Structures are given as structure tokens and as C-alpha cells.
């Protein structure tokens, strides 16, 4: 039997093999001042478990598969998590190819279906997102955040409609319409409905998603040790789950401004630039504290000791771990999901994550998780294919 040959690129070299890795991020979901678990049963769980929903854009159609809500450690209530796949269903259009023999471009019109996917584990206890891109073209954590924001907002709209149709809201409209009528307000019922609707929407605000990569402690320190000059830093903070920006960013703000500040904003940025170089130690201290807060998107421009310029976001210092399971051949998807969870526990145990993922009111969160778990039917032992 003839041996199969490895297909080579136009330059004669074999294409590099894609190696999946476990990525770690903070999944921030806010409903105004409320958090993900505050609307778990009303909005969040329906948004994740409704695999019939999809989001379309120019790049393709995004949808969820194999989604379950389950414990990843039978002895640990805090291991309750959403597990599943994010799929990007698209097509690749090929117009031409390079012929090595003739050294010419050859017309080769072809459309190929392509459905790259990523695995995700969202731990509800601390909102840590574990993510594995199964193929090179698979959607990343940003696409996951954008897709889930769309799905959550659709369920939120349905929830608002249900609230407006409820007997309680109907009575509030009736009572206010009577008050308006006594005051000779024109169109009392219409105005009453407008005002109550505004109150309901204000009380139950639209969800907002931010996915912030977690930084690795060792990779961060190794990179900092090599940096000679920092020319620019840009840090954008977002409100964390259950916390205010001022609390999460306190260390970075203290370094930057000299004292702590309390800000009532959804997000804010720290920007600093110098062609000749910022104060290196203070600049890196701001970056370091920002990464530790786990609520910051970090970008900086610097020069290493060997003269290499560093321009980019926090990709170099993102925490990643090897992932050696070929998921496409796995029958029981719980195997890779639990492997991802085990990697996270190992990272926690060894202190490899730089970012602070401490849960503010752990007992309260644990009680919410018990309620959520009790309200859901147990999933079958084998994840759906």
C-alpha cells in the first residue's frame, strides 16, 4: 500500500499542525447593577440551553451545540457549569490555486462547507470561562461573548414582554391611568403604559457581556523582566460581576493617580504615551495591577532589552494550557469538559493565574447555585452528539 504524502504549501513546506489549547477568561455578564446569577432562571439558562437560536453575520452563522448545565465534580457544588460547543457555520470560496509543476496560478472555483467549532465551560461559581478552539478557524472567546450577548438580549426582550403582560404590571398601569385621568392628563392609559413600561425596562436592564482573558503569572513576569522601555499603555476597565470598577481597579488607579477613586461608570480607560519612554516601573505597575484585577483589556507598546518592539494586546501573557484530546473522535463529551475543568483546578492550585478570581460572597453564591441546580432536570450521563 502506498504511503500517503503530507500535503505541502506552495513554498514546498508542510503546513504547521494546529495544536489546541485551553484558554482562560473572565466572563462578565451585567444586567445594569445585577449579575449573571440574578437572572439565571429567567434569562441566562434559557439563552444557553436554546440551541435552536443562531446569530448571522457576513462571516457565517453562529450557534450552540451539545449544551448542558451540570456538575463537573460530583463532590463540589461550585463546579456547576454550562458546557457545550460554539459552532461557526460558513463556506470557503476558492477562486484559484498555485500549481507547483507549472508555477502558475490555475482557476479552481470551488465552494467548500466549513463548520469550525470551540468547546466552552462556563463555571457559574466564579464566572471563569474555559475555552478550547478545536480547529484553526474556530471562533475565539470574543466571538463567544458577542454571540452570547445576542442570545441573552433576545431572551431578555422576551422576559420584558412577559413582565409587561403580567397581572401585576397590568394593575400598575390601571392604577396610574386612574391617577392621570383625575389630573386630566391627555390619553391617560397610553401615558400610563408608557411610564410603567419605562419603569420595567429600567428595573430589568439589557445584558452586557465582556470577556476578559486571564493572565498567566509566570508569562507576565518573564515578559516584564525582558522589557527595557514602555512607550504606551492603554487599559480599559469594565464592571466586574458583583463588584464596582473602583474596587477592582483600585490598585491600578492608586498607581496611576496616586490615590483610590470610586467611579460610577460601566467602563473607563487609562491611557499614557511617551515617545522617549514612560516611567518603566510605574507603567509596568499599572499593567500588572490591571491584569490582576481581571476586569481589564490591556494593550501596551514597549521595547525589550534586545531591541525587539512589542506592539499588541495581552495575547503574549494570556494564560493557556495544553489540550491533547482529539475532540472530534470523542463519544462522551464530558471527557474533554472535565479535562478542561481539571486544568483550571490545577492552575488555581499552583497559583499560575495572575488575575484575581476571588468570589466576593461565596456562601450566597453557593446558595444560588443550589437553587439553580434543584430547578433543573438532571442531564443524561452522556453529552449529546
Mean per-residue pLDDT for 237-244? Answer: 65
Q: Residues 291, 333: one domain?
A: no
Mean per-residue pLDDT for 191-209?
95
Q: Residue 36 — φ and ψ, nearest 5°?
A: -55, -50
Average pLDDT for the chain: 85
The answer to whether residue 11 scores a pLDDT higher than 90 is no
Of 285, 300, 317, which residue sits at a domain end?
A: 317
Domain containing 367 equals: 19-163+209-214+319-385
Assess whether 189 and 126 both reside in one domain. Answer: no
If pLDDT is split at 50, 70 and 90, which confidence band does 15 have? Answer: low
- Asked whether residue 250 is domain-assigned, the answer is yes
The confidence band for 8, taking pLDDT boundaries of 50, 70 and 90, is low
Same domain, 76 and 119: yes
Tell me, rounded to whole angstroms, the distance of Cα 303 from its chain centroid: 30
In-domain check, residue 10: no
The answer to whether 304 and 280 are in contact (CB under 8 A) is no
Same domain, 337 and 301: no
pTM: 0.84
Contact predicate 340/130, CB 8 Å:
yes
Do 108 and 117 contact (CB within 8 A), yes or no?
no
pLDDT digits (tens, 9 = 90+) for 61-86: 999 999 999 999 988 889 999 999 99
Looking at per-residue confidence, does 11 or 91 come out higher?
A: 91
Residue 12 in any domain: the answer is no
Residue 241: exposure state from Cβ atoms within 10 A (0-12, 13-18, ≥19): buried
- pLDDT band of residue 374 (cuts 50, 70, 90) is confident
What pLDDT sits at residue 31?
94
Is there a single domain that holds both residue 294 and residue 276?
Answer: yes
Assess whether 92 and 151 both reside in one domain. yes
User: What DSSP element (H or E) covers 118?
Assistant: strand 117-123
The answer on 177 and 153 residing in a single domain is: no
Query: Per the domain annotation, does 352 fall within a domain?
Result: yes
Q: Model confidence at 282, in pLDDT bands (50, 70, 90)? A: confident
Cα distance from N-terminal residue to C-terminal residue, the chain: 34
> Is 68 part of a structural domain of the chain?
yes
Residue 135 neighbours by CB under 8 Å, 6+ apart: 18, 116, 117
Residue 112 is assigned to a structural domain of this protein: yes
Q: Which of 258, 283, 317 is the last residue of a domain?
A: 317
Number of domains in the chain: 3
In a domain, 261, yes or no: yes
Amino acid at each position: 500500500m502506498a504511503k500517503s504524502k503530507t500535503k505541502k504549501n506552495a513554498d514546498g513546506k508542510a503546513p504547521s499542525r494546529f495544536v489546541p489549547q485551553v484558554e482562560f477568561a473572565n466572563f462578565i455578564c451585567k444586567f445594569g447593577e445585577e449579575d449573571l446569577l440574578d437572572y439565571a432562571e429567567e434569562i441566562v439558562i434559557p439563552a444557553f440551553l436554546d440551541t435552536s437560536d443562531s446569530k448571522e453575520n457576513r462571516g457565517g452563522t453562529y450557534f450552540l451545540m451539545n449544551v448542558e448545565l451540570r456538575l463537573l465534580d460530583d463532590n463540589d457544588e461550585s463546579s456547576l457549569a454550562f458546557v457545550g460547543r460554539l459552532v461557526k457555520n460558513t463556506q470557503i470560496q476558492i477562486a484559484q490555486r498555485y500549481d507547483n509543476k507549472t508555477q502558475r496560478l490555475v482557476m479552481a472555483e470551488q465552494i467548500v462547507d466549513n463548520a469550525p467549532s470551540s468547546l466552552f465551560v462556563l463555571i457559574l461559581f466564579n464566572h471563569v470561562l474555559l475555552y478550547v478552539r478545536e480547529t484553526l478557524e474556530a471562533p475565539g472567546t470574543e466571538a463567544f461573548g458577542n454571540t452570547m450577548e445576542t442570545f441573552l438580549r433576545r431572551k431578555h426582550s422576551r422576559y420584558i414582554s412577559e413582565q409587561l403582560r403580567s397581572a401585576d404590571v397590568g394593575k400598575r398601569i390601571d392604577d396610574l391611568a386612574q391617577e392621570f385621568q383625575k389630573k386630566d392628563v391627555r390619553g391617560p392609559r397610553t401615558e400610563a403604559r408608557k411610564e410603567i413600561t419605562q419603569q420595567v425596562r429600567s428595573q430589568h436592564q439589557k445584558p452586557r457581556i465582556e470577556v476578559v482573558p486571564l493572565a498567566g503569572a509566570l508569562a507576565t513576569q518573564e515578559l516584564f523582566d525582558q522589557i527595557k522601555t514602555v512607550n504606551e499603555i492603554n487599559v480599559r476597565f469594565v464592571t466586574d460581576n458583583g463588584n464596582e470598577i473602583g474596587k477592582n481597579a483600585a490598585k491600578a488607579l492608586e498607581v496611576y493617580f496616586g490615590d483610590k477613586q470610586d467611579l460610577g461608570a460601566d467602563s473607563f480607560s487609562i491611557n499614557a504615551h511617551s515617545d522617549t519612554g514612560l516611567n518603566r516601573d510605574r507603567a509596568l505597575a499599572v499593567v500588572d495591577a490591571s491584569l490582576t484585577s481581571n476586569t481589564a483589556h490591556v494593550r501596551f507598546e514597549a521595547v525589550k532589552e534586545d531591541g525587539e518592539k512589542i506592539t499588541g494586546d495581552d495575547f503574549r501573557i494570556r494564560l493557556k494550557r495544553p489540550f491533547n484530546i482529539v475532540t472530534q473522535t470523542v463519544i462522551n463529551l464530558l471527557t474533554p469538559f472535565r479535562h478542561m475543568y481539571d486544568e483550571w483546578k490545577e492552575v488555581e492550585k499552583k497559583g499560575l493565574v495572575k488575575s484575581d478570581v476571588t468570589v466576593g460572597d461565596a456562601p450566597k453564591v453557593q446558595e444560588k447555585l443550589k437553587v439553580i441546580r434543584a430547578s433543573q432536570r438532571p442531564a443524561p450521563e452522556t453529552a449529546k452528539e
